[in-house]
Chains A and B, each alone.
Chain A
Amino acid sequence: MENAILNNGENLDRNEYMIKASNLTKSFNNLLVFEDLNVKVKKGEVLVVIGASGSGKSTLLRCLNHLEELDSGTIIIEGEKLNPKDKKMLRKITTKMGMVFQNFNLFPHMTAIQNVMEAPLVVKKEKKSEVLQRAKQLLSKVGLVDKMDYYPSKLSGGQQQRVAIARALAMNPDIMLFDEPTSALDPELVGEVLNVMKDLAKEGMTMVVVTHEMGFAREVADRVIFMDGGKIVEEGTPEEVFSHPKEDRTKEFLNKVLK
């Protein structure tokens, strides 16, 4: 896994941006979600986006891999511009990004290992023996190789989310997007998922994480963005945002969530 990450990025300058999103505007039926947002993510950086529900943070994440279509703005992934009209190119670029959803969205008719193997087999047409080997490695990485033949319905929420992470990693993405990955979990299951994410961050994976887990943000993030009402209100290192917030809205929000 580590090799894959390094190899895929080797022609990139260390300082070059993996994600460069400029002037993003998005609305749902005339309801403006955000306007003129700019987000940049460097290689190996862990960007954590925090904010209240409805602040537009999930929508922002979903726009990055084109699950939602932008009204305007440009997104450049590893130097390639997303063109909504060019479906083939869009698929190629979005497969460089792995996505982990709040509700896991595992394929219920497939076992854990089938979930992990399906996309490399179908989308990349890789050899089955190679994919099987990689899938087993990934499942042992997230601590679930003994559960590989279980259907998702037989796994706990935390286990399902770990399979979902393995499934996303199976496509050898350069970037991982996490959309509130622990919000649907029972409190005692949050830790196991966060640990897997921490390991990924340590390995140098470029990550964008939308979360309510402030402890995780503080510990793992290189940079934190606080969003409110569709705007980036504050941005900085965890130390800057959590310990010395400049904006009143940030202080207010942190007061509420950190109690």
Chain B
Amino acid sequence: MNIGFIKDILPILLKGSVMTIELTVITLILGTMLGIFLALLKLSKNIVLKVLSSFYTWIFRGTPLLLQLFFFYYGLPFIGIELTPFTAAILGLGLNCGAYMAEIIRGGIQSINKGQFEAAKALGFSYVETMRKIILPQTWKIIIPPVGNEFISILKDTSLVSTIAMVELMRSAQQIYASSFDPISVFLTAAILYLIMTTVFTTVFGIFERRLAVYS
């Protein structure tokens, strides 16, 4: 371990970390919106929409994320669609996260007492109003632990986009390692940075969980 060396590489790794956070946050937002949409499709009475949603999760949960990223970045150019590493990364991570979030959200909605839907219906709420005001707010509370898990997975999974020329924390670490002869310092530093990020995430989720516990 060489403290001076670590001081030299830290700015580069921190810059990589910023990109990692950026990728994670965008993925989570995309994934959550997509997840809500897919979950509602899956719970709809329309059989076509149900099948469509199931097919989606089947594909994206059933194949490796790495393969999906390669497909978007290296595959699509062959049919004339050129994506920047960033777009391909966001697309791959977001679509993948959506599939997992859909399953988590669907489970959450299904665990809400049927009486809540009935009370809302009897009071005249439309479907959208029922979901927005009554069902989803209660769903968040239930799904916070699995969503926290998913978010931490995503944060770590962003390291996979280092393989499609996206410069984030993992890629930065690899680049420094390749041009230096101190892999221990490089990877330990990167590991600590990942740990700091996941710890912050976990803490934030813990706060959410406690805050939402007021009504239980």
* Residue ranges of A at the interface with B (Cβ–Cβ < 8 Å): 65, 67, 91-92, 94-95, 97-99, 101, 103, 105-110, 118-119, 122-124, 151-153, 167-168, 171
Report the minimal beta-carbon distance from B129 to chain A, rounded to whole angstroms.
5
CB distance from B128 to the nearest CB of A (A): 10
Chain B positions near chain A (C-beta within 8 angstroms): 113, 115-116, 118-119, 121-126, 129, 133-134, 137-138, 141, 214-216
Q: In the complex the two chains form, is A99's CB within 8 Å of B126's CB?
A: no
Residue of A92, A95, A105 most packed against chain B (CB within 10 A) = A105
Q: Is the CB of B214 within 8 A of A151?
A: yes
Q: Is the CB of A105 within 8 A of B138?
A: no
A151 to B137, CA, bound (A): 15
Report the separation of the CA atoms of residues A168 and B119 in the bound assembly, to the nearest whole angstrom.
9
Which residues of the partner chain B approach A118 to less than 8 Å between Cβ atoms? 123, 133-134
Chain B contacts for A99, CB-based, 8 A = 118-119, 122-123
Q: Enumerate chain B residues within 8 angstroms of A98, measured Cβ to Cβ.
A: 122
CB neighbours of B214 from chain A (8 A): 151
Write out the residue numbers on chain A whose beta carbons fall within 8 Å of the beta carbon of B126: 91, 123
- B123 CB to nearest A CB, Å: 4
Asked whether, in the complex, the Cβ of B124 is within 8 Å of the Cβ of A94, the reply is yes
Bound Cα distance A123, B214 (Å): 26
Q: State the CA gap A192–B121 with chains docked (Å).
A: 26
Q: A151-B215, A153-B215 are in contact. Are A123 and B115 (CB under 8 A)?
A: no
Q: Judge whether B215 and A171 touch: CB under 8 Å.
A: no
Which single residue of chain B is at the shortest CB-CB distance from A95? B124
Q: A92-B124, A123-B126 are in contact. List 19 more A-B contacts (CB 8 A).
A: A67-B121, A67-B122, A91-B124, A94-B121, A97-B122, A98-B122, A99-B119, A99-B123, A101-B115, A105-B116, A105-B118, A107-B116, A107-B138, A108-B215, A108-B216, A109-B138, A124-B124, A167-B123, A171-B123
| Contact in complex: A153, B122 (CB < 8 Å) | no
Closest residue of chain A to B214, judged by CB?
A: A151
Q: Given A65-B122, A105-B119, A171-B124, are A122 and B138 neighbors across the interface (CB < 8 Å)? A: no
* Given A103-B115, A151-B214: A123 touches B124 (CB 8 Å cut-off): yes
Cβ of A167: which chain B residues have Cβ within 8 Å of it?
123
Alpha-carbon distance A107/B125, docked complex (angstroms)? 13
The answer to whether B115 touches A105, judged by C-beta atoms less than 8 angstroms apart, is yes
User: Is there an interface contact between B119 and A109, defined as CB atoms closer than 8 Å?
Assistant: no
* A119-B121 contact in complex given A105-B116, A153-B215, C-beta closer than 8 Å: no
Contact of B119 among A92, A95, A107, A123 (CB under 8 A): A107
A101 in contact with B125 given A108-B215, A109-B137, A122-B133 (CB within 8 Å):
no
Q: Is the CB of A101 within 8 A of B118?
A: yes
Q: By the criterion CB–CB under 8 Å, are B118 and A95 in contact?
A: no
Q: Assess the B129–A122 pair: CB atoms within 8 A.
A: yes
In angstroms, Cα B213 to Cα A153, docked, is: 11
Chain B residues near A108 (CB-CB < 8 A) = 138, 215-216
A-B contact pairs, 16 of them (CB 8 A): A67-B121, A67-B122, A91-B124, A94-B121, A94-B124, A95-B123, A98-B122, A105-B113, A105-B115, A108-B216, A109-B215, A118-B133, A118-B134, A119-B125, A151-B215, A168-B123
Cα-based distance from A216 to B134 in the complex (angstroms) = 33
